[in-house]
Structure 1
Amino acid sequence: MNDAIVFADAPVLLVGGAHGDNRHLSRLLDEVETVVAADSGADWLAAVGRMPDALIGDLDSVSETTRAALAEDRVHHIAEQDSTDFDKAVRSINAPLILGVGFLGGRVDHLMAALTVLARYPDRAIVLVGDKDVVAHLPPSIDLPLEPGTRVSLYPLCAVEGTSTGLHWPIDGLLMSPDARVGTSNRAEGAVRIRMHSAGMLIILPVSQRAALQRALLGADGLWPAP
């Protein structure tokens, strides 16, 4: 994270331009001190009365009104076009956890690009928050205190294997990949433990399990090495 712009010792909220439920955004704003906008995410923040502590991106989507309302030292223009604004913001934040909202709704190509960023930074703890779901890249091991019946979907972005306890359909001995076997619509029988042999697996949970997922990521034994 040598390119970091924002430094924090607590979770940081990163807001994107795919606006969602204002109630989710308001809850997240109540929980964090540091708020970063990825390009037009600043307009969503402005609409609910909270200006970002930093605006990061190529700035081709944020309104002139919102940009002009920010002090120049809060605006960080990264002009290159080889990465998304989400990618630019993630690599610019040094924090124990990033909560990303405004990246799971809207256009499907933007959603897929955001999931690619999760796979690109396996060494970072990132939770994407949508109106119905939360998504994260699984660390080498995770323990989740889930209630029986909780939906647990696993989606591989490459060929991966792992083991599990507490899932109705265990993943032990399965080679999972996006063009073959995936693990959507599994469910918890109770507390879930997942161990992955390599990076590349996403977990998708109901948004009601956001706090549990955050705590599990922060309490994990370690993340994957940086690529």
Structure 2
Amino acid sequence: MINPQKSTAIVRSERPIALVGGGQVGPDDLKLVLIRVNLVVAADGGAVPLMDMGHMPDAVIGDFDSLGSSYRDQIPEERLFPIREQDSTDFDKALRSVEAPLVLGVGFLGGRLDHQLAVLNTLVRLRDRPCLLLGEREVVFLAPPRITLSLTPGDVVSLFPFERVTGKSRGLEWPIDNLVLESNGRVGTSNRALADVELSVDGPGLLVMVPRAALEQVMQAFLSEKTGRWPAHAE
């Protein structure tokens, strides 16, 4: 459902939605995501890869500095939602403007490192908006309070803290129990799954990276309503 009232969410859905950015989009990225959603939102220039594949976005959100007139003129006016401020990225503008049980994001990883860091920063700040980012090799998400994933033994499971967190794990080659993870201290990259992985953390701030092939398992874990959700970040 598209909501024209700018003071509330622009797009609401009871099912997962796709969010497409203007960054690196692999040949199968859109195919993997579009079959799993019923609404597609473009973050500014993310409308370009969508339209090039013959898909008209249900909504376009951003400052529109990356969307050329040749594309913009083809999009119905009622699907354009400009947010002109320059204090946030288009990913931030779009993610905070949608409400759904889960957002699947493509076109936000790869390319410029500063852009990727800004996206990951937003993923942590907008902690009440569950979002999976699809990369060339991995799926990235903010760890919810708890999650169980059916992974293949040997799968790489990387944990990177943007904020200080502690937690517990089962099914990892190197458990995180009794460890303090923080961005300027110990991190948990290049861990490995031994079997099903169970992870619980005491607060938001831990990014999880698992193989791209695990997209469906991660998605179903979030949609199971067994993960819990973080409250919105206090401004």
Distance in 2 between residues matched to 1:122 and 1:162, nearest whole Å: 17
Distance in 1 between residues matched to 2:215 and 2:77, nearest whole Å: 34
8 Å Cα contact 2:99/2:129 also seen in 1: no
8 Å Cα contact 1:25/1:101 also seen in 2: yes
Q: What SS does structure 2 have at the residue aligned with 1:28?
A: helix
Where does residue 58 of structure 2 map in the other structure?
53
Where does residue 152 of structure 2 map in the other structure?
147
Is the aligned partner of 1:137 residue 2:137?
Answer: no
Is the aligned partner of 1:163 residue 2:168?
Answer: yes
Task: Give CA-to-partner distance per residue, 1:192-221, whole Å, 9 cap, x none.
Answer: 111101110010011001111111122234
Report the TM-score when normalising by structure 2: 0.94
Show structure 2 runs of 5+ residues with no match. 1-5
**1:23 offset after TM fit, Å?**
1.4
* Moved >6 Å (runs of 4+): none
Task: Give CA-to-partner distance per residue, 1:34-64, whole Å, 9 cap, x none.
Answer: 0000000001111111110000000001111
Q: What SS does structure 1 have at the residue aligned with 2:28?
A: helix
The one-letter code of the counterpart of 1:3 is: T
Of 22, 31, 34, 1:29 maps to 34
**1:31 offset after TM fit, Å?**
2.3
Is the aligned partner of 1:218 residue 2:223?
Answer: yes
The one-letter code of the counterpart of 1:58 is: D
Is the aligned partner of 1:109 residue 2:114?
Answer: yes
**1:3 offset after TM fit, Å?**
2.7
Of 100, 103, 107, 1:98 maps to 103
Distance in 2 between residues matched to 1:27 and 1:157, nearest whole Å: 28
Identity over the aligned pairs, expressed in percent? 48
Report the TM-score when normalising by structure 1: 0.97
8 Å Cα contact 1:19/1:44 also seen in 2: no
**1:68 offset after TM fit, Å?**
0.4
Distance in 2 between residues matched to 1:164 and 1:30, nearest whole Å: 32
Distance in 1 between residues matched to 2:172 and 2:193, nearest whole Å: 5
8 Å Cα contact 1:119/1:137 also seen in 2: yes
Where does residue 125 of structure 1 map in the other structure?
130
**1:2 offset after TM fit, Å?**
5.9
Residues matched between the structures, number: 227
Task: Give CA-to-partner distance per residue, 1:80-128, whole Å, 9 cap, x none.
Answer: 1111100100111111100000000111111000000111011121000
Q: What CA RMSD, in Å, does the superposition of the two structures yield over aligned residues?
A: 1.2
Where does residue 22 of structure 2 map in the other structure?
17
